[in-house]
Chains A and B, each alone.
Chain A
Amino acid sequence: MKIIHTADLHLDSVMKANLDKARAKERRDELTQNFVRLSLFAHQTGAKAILIAGDLFDDKRVSKQVGKTVLNEINRNADIDYYYLKGNHDKDSFVNLIKEEGEVPENLHLFDYEWKKYILNENEDGRKIALYGAEFSGDNNGFLMNTFHADAEDINIVMLHGQENEYRGKDTTDIIPISEMKGKNIDYLALGHVHEKKMALLDSRGTYCYPGCLEGRGFDECGDHGFMLLDVNEENGDVIAEFIDFANRKLHHVIVDLTDCESTAKAVELVREKLSSGKYNFKDLVKIELTGKISEEAEINEEYILHVFKEDFYFLKVKNSVKVNVDYRKYANDESLKGWFIRLVENSEELDEEMKGQVVQMGLRALSGEEIVQ
């Protein structure tokens, strides 16, 4: 049986990556559309269940448009069962919206603050695939850990939303103490909350996994994002998890070292070289950070670099983190105004090294008639 494990879709989220209003709205709509795409993928691959391990929505309140889109999709795919566990962001707003519209669809299964069990392959032969799930209420962590029991004969999948930790610790609100989940006949612990994919052994029988968020929303969520496709062998109980790269757009933080680069033209070349590796798609959002050390006479115009490459991507941002490395020895005997200026800056006690470099660079630009501020 094929099952999809996803989490942290954060639908209806305000997109943070410095997008203008129109683009931010577009990205928000794309995120909503991801749910539709996910359902379509399930339909095409014959997956019978979609496990949503929390934070389906970004906020405790969900807008009608997004809520209805999700509801419509669930209704449209009546042959797929959706198992929805709420996280720390989403609350009852979606379920309330459903109830306003009518009844909770039969293929939408919810969880509560106590363990709930569903059999995913009721009408099939072979071992039963039992799905357990519970939501943290803020003070039921211990209760949940102590009351979990699963039949060893079944293929047991457990859904939780929280931060994994070896032990419970003092603040237990959303902590998933991995050590307390071991030895409980769990074949696959389907988690949510962490936005990066992570998979590790739980015990000799099972594994735990964060699929990561379905799509990055800011430059703190760069790289591949998607979900886990589980292939459950009902005969021998094997649960094989495959990561599916699914994001519509990816975010990339590209660091370009401009050390010893003297000009914007050369910088453009270096950036181009970096961007031509094939990893960066025209659909993606890219943040280029210029690093390294340049001389005081080098001119690096990040606005120009942005202008050169901005049409190559959906969104491009350029951050100049280049440090100016002044060779003060060159100016030791320079009796010009420039020499005097640089020596004064070098010997300044009020400026830190980084600022000294920037002041020197600005002064030289000013003296050579270039734009003082680029």
Chain B
Amino acid sequence: MRIISCHIDGFGKINNEDFSFENGLNIFREDNGFGKSTLATFIKVMLYGFEDEKRKSLQDKEREKYRPWNKGTYGGRMCFEVKGKAYEVSRVFGKNENDDSFEVRESESNNLVDIFDKSELGSQIFGIDRDSFFRTAYIAAHDLNKREEKVTDSIRAKLGNLTDATDDINNYENVCGKIDKKLNEYSPDRKTGLIKSLKSNISEIDNELRKADDIEKAIEINENQMKLLNDKLERDKEKLESLKKELQEVNKTEILKEKKETYNSYLGELEESRKKAKEIEDNFGGRIPDKEELIEAKSSYFEYKQLLKQMDENHFYKDENWEKKAEIFKEGTPTDEEIKEYINLAGNEKDKRRELLTLSTELDKAVDEYNMKKQEEVKERNLRIQAETDRNNSGKKSLKIILLIVSILLIIAGAASLIISGFNNMLLMITGGVCALMGVILMVFSLLIKGKIEAKLEELPKADRNEALSNSEEAKKKQAQIKDTENEIILLNGQIERFLSKYGYSYDKEEVVNVLLELMKLAADYREGADKIRKYNELSKECEKRENQYEAFLKKTGVALNDDIVKVFESIQDVLAAYGEINQEIIRKKTNVEKYEADNDIGELLKDIPEVSRSREDIMDDTDDINEELDKDKENLHRQRNKIEELEEEKRELLNLKNDREEKSELLTSLEREYNLMKFTREYLTKAKDGLSNKYTGPTMKAFKEYCSIFLENPDDFRMDTNFEMTRFEEGLQRKIKDLSSGQKDLTDLCMRMALVSAMYSEEKPFIIMDDPFVNLDDKNLISGMKLLDELSKEYQIIYFTCHKARGGDK
């Protein structure tokens, strides 16, 4: 590839200048201050853009350094050829990178091409970055023999033709840096390394874990102590058991004694009660009356007294009329009801008589009514006849009038007709004549009609009782009723009379009621007296009976009688009550005894109870002591257990630590594995890099030797490592180049650079920019330098800047 031309609008001190370039060597000899470096920089900037864009200070920015002094257009264009095609790149630089304009056109067609990037043009053309460009294709005197690394990764990549592959070789330093950083992190040697610190940690844990044995021993010792305490506890418990048993025996004996006493007391009480009962029985002669008997006898006595009282009340004194009354009522005493009945009958009889009167009156009335009715009937008939007669008369009268009127009219009509006819019209004459005739007839007829006819009336009948009695239903009925009533009266009278005669009374209709009332009173008196007598007799019988009952009871009891029977009864009652209570007592006590016998082993109670060896108090004292001991034992055990618990807790902590250690060990193994992997990875990556590098150090070395042979005698003594560091065999060993003169070092470096270019660009050679590289060379070396330049220009387009004729400026 080569530069064809460039036009600078404004760049540093150069403005509006054109430059053209040929193949081979292009020498630009200008005085200092012309701007050779500026031009060189322009070419570089056109390819790679400005450096130091990120710097904050304007002064430090390359952009500002070359801003045109005349403030005109800052930029230019450059034609170049790559892979046989010519292009023109134009750039105008603004205030910053974003303001820059950039375009590339094909020179032939002037078409814009977009295959080149604003900031990557140089890399795209040369296949290396700016830094690498400056190390190879751009050579200035101050660059030669610098200590900095000669070969960048970019160069290496180019040398290895890796621009299209991944940027792994470019990354190699980064990668190794990262791996080294990671290895550092993991380092098993550095204090802060993960592996180292983990190992320390594990070691600390191991130290802690060593305590586990001690803790285990301590636990064992404490457990043994605990066992001893447990044994003591057991022994004390046994003692306590034994004391309890002893106490039980004592209690048992005491209980037995108590029970025996209780049993004996029950028996004693029972016996006492029985004695009391016997006394009472003896008092009653061996036979105790029962309560019901006493109650009955007492009741009999009180009834006896009551009956006596009643007898007094019912005592009846017969007067002088008593016998008479007895005689009257010897057949029986009528009751009040019976007498009242006869009073009613008397009343009925009176009513019947009154009724009879009424019926007679009614009969008379009926007869009168009959007669009157009969007369009324005749009257009615007469009225009817009269009315009819009148009607007839009236009718006739009317007829008569009508006939008269009609006859008149006819006569009139007849006369009229005759008149009208004038006795000419036969018809009219006939008609009129007929009419007149008829009228006359009628008139005669009406005159013949008789006037008022006199009615034929009946004569009113006279009143006839017999007839009425025979014909009137009502009268007949009344008659029957009168007959019935009369019969009833007769019956009633008969009854009353018979009744009265029974008791010696006669019958008087008017006085019968009074008589009956009197009889009633008499009968009542007699009945009352008779009742009293009867009652008195009954009471007397009962009284005697009761008296016999209670006297028999008292005799049976053997109790001495006295006037105050009540007191006697009361005393018996008291005794019986007492006896009853005693009997209840006996039953209760007997039950107690039986229950006690059922609940207890009487056989045991009846035996002799042995005496105890020690008192309860002594045993209790011993028990208290043992309990105290037991409490102490338990407390000690509790303390011991707590101690063991604490140790167990410590042990558990250690177990946790152990788990922790296991985890950390696992982690350590994992880290170590990773560490080893990283180491191997680093190692093999480096081997790969070296291998790759070695692939291209060969060609580089070959080219170097070729170029060096121009000015050095033994170029084969030189050796190059994979970092392109040059050494030379001296005194049997490879040593860094020290003894070359500075001029030779510059030349050597130049050869190195060109050797790199030669190795990097095997197909298409790049242009080389040399900015007065030989400025530091002496004459001899300068000659070598120029020879080298000639040699190089056969292969490369070289743009050579110098300010001195001697360094090629005369060409």
Interface string of A49-67 (1 = CB under 8 A from B): 0000000000001011000
Known: A64-B641, A336-B168, A337-B169. A344 touches B688 (CB 8 A): yes
Cβ-defined partner of A373 (8 Å) among B655, B678, B688 = B678
Interface string of A84-118 (1 = CB under 8 A from B): 00000000000011011000000000000000000
Interface string of A333-370 (1 = CB under 8 A from B): 00111101100110010010001001100110011110
For window 315-347 of A, CB contacts with B under 8 Å fall at 335-338, 340-341, 344-345
Q: Residue A76 at the B interface, CB < 8 A?
A: no
> B684 and A355: CB pair below 8 A?
no
CB B685 to nearest CB in A, in angstroms, measures 5
> B638 and A100: CB pair below 8 A?
yes
> A372 and B166: CB pair below 8 A?
no
Residues of chain B within 8 A (CB-CB) of A355 are 677, 680
CB B466 to nearest CB in A, in angstroms, measures 124
Residues of chain A within 8 A (CB-CB) of B652 are 14
Residues of chain B within 8 A (CB-CB) of A373 are 182, 674, 678
Residues of chain B within 8 A (CB-CB) of A21 are 656
A336–B165 Cα gap in the complex (Å)? 7
A202–B695 Cα gap in the complex (Å)? 77
A97–B161 Cα gap in the complex (Å)? 83
How many chain A residues touch B (CB < 8 A): the figure is 33
A34–B376 Cα gap in the complex (Å)? 135
Q: Residue B778 at the A interface, CB < 8 A?
A: no
A64–B656 Cα gap in the complex (Å)? 19
Nearest chain-A residue to B644 (Cβ)? A61
Known: A21-B656, A335-B160. A100 touches B637 (CB 8 A): yes
Known: A99-B230, A348-B684. A366 touches B169 (CB 8 A): no
Q: Residue B648 at the A interface, CB < 8 A?
A: yes
For window 131-186 of B, CB contacts with A under 8 Å fall at 160-162, 165-166, 168-169, 171-172, 174-175, 178-179, 182
Residues of chain B within 8 A (CB-CB) of A363 are 681, 684-685
- The interface residues of chain B, by DSSP majority, are classed as helix
Task: Find the residue from A21, A336, A344 having the highest chain B CB count within 10 A.
Answer: A336
Known: A338-B168, A366-B179. A18 touches B663 (CB 8 A): yes
> A336 and B162: CB pair below 8 A?
yes
Q: Residue A298 at the B interface, CB < 8 A?
A: no
> B168 and A337: CB pair below 8 A?
yes
Nearest chain-A residue to B176 (Cβ)? A366
Cβ-defined partner of B648 (8 Å) among A63, A366, A367 = A63
Q: Residue B692 at the A interface, CB < 8 A?
A: yes
Nearest chain-B residue to A362 (Cβ)? B681
Q: Residue A222 at the B interface, CB < 8 A?
A: no
A97–B638 Cα gap in the complex (Å)? 10
Interface string of B717-745 (1 = CB under 8 A from A): 00000000000000000000000000000
> A16 and B659: CB pair below 8 A?
yes
> B645 and A337: CB pair below 8 A?
no
A357–B166 Cα gap in the complex (Å)? 21
Residues of chain A within 8 A (CB-CB) of B634 are 100
Known: A337-B168, A373-B674. A61 touches B219 (CB 8 A): yes
Nearest chain-B residue to A366 (Cβ)? B175
> A344 and B684: CB pair below 8 A?
yes
Nearest chain-A residue to B237 (Cβ)? A99
Residues of chain B within 8 A (CB-CB) of A369 are 171, 174
A29–B175 Cα gap in the complex (Å)? 50
Residues of chain B within 8 A (CB-CB) of A64 are 641, 645
A368–B648 Cα gap in the complex (Å)? 54
Q: Residue B276 at the A interface, CB < 8 A?
A: no
A100–B223 Cα gap in the complex (Å)? 13
Known: A21-B656, A351-B680, A366-B178. A337 touches B685 (CB 8 A): yes
Nearest chain-A residue to B656 (Cβ)? A21
CB B782 to nearest CB in A, in angstroms, measures 41
> A359 and B674: CB pair below 8 A?
no
Residues of chain A within 8 A (CB-CB) of B7 are none
Residues of chain B within 8 A (CB-CB) of A1 are none
Q: Residue B245 at the A interface, CB < 8 A?
A: no
> A61 and B648: CB pair below 8 A?
yes
Cβ-defined partner of B656 (8 Å) among A14, A96, A341 = A14
A21–B654 Cα gap in the complex (Å)? 12
Known: A14-B659, A24-B656, A61-B644. A340 touches B681 (CB 8 A): no
> B179 and A340: CB pair below 8 A?
no
CB B62 to nearest CB in A, in angstroms, measures 30
Residues of chain B within 8 A (CB-CB) of A338 are 165-166, 168, 688
Residues of chain A within 8 A (CB-CB) of B659 are 14, 16, 24
> B688 and A359: CB pair below 8 A?
no
Besides A63-B645, A96-B226, A97-B641, 7 more A-B contacts (Cβ < 8 Å) are: A14-B655, A24-B659, A64-B645, A100-B638, A336-B168, A338-B166, A372-B178
14 A-B Cβ contacts within 8 A? A24-B659, A63-B648, A99-B230, A100-B638, A336-B168, A337-B689, A337-B692, A344-B691, A355-B677, A362-B678, A366-B681, A367-B166, A372-B178, A372-B182
Give residues in A with beta carbon < 8 Å to B: 14, 16, 18, 21, 24, 61, 63-64, 96-97, 99-100, 335-338, 340-341, 344-345, 348, 351, 355, 358-359, 362-363, 366-369, 372-373
Q: Which 8 A-B pairs have the closest CB atoms?
A: A340-B688, A341-B688, A367-B168, A336-B165, A337-B168, A337-B169, A362-B681, A366-B175
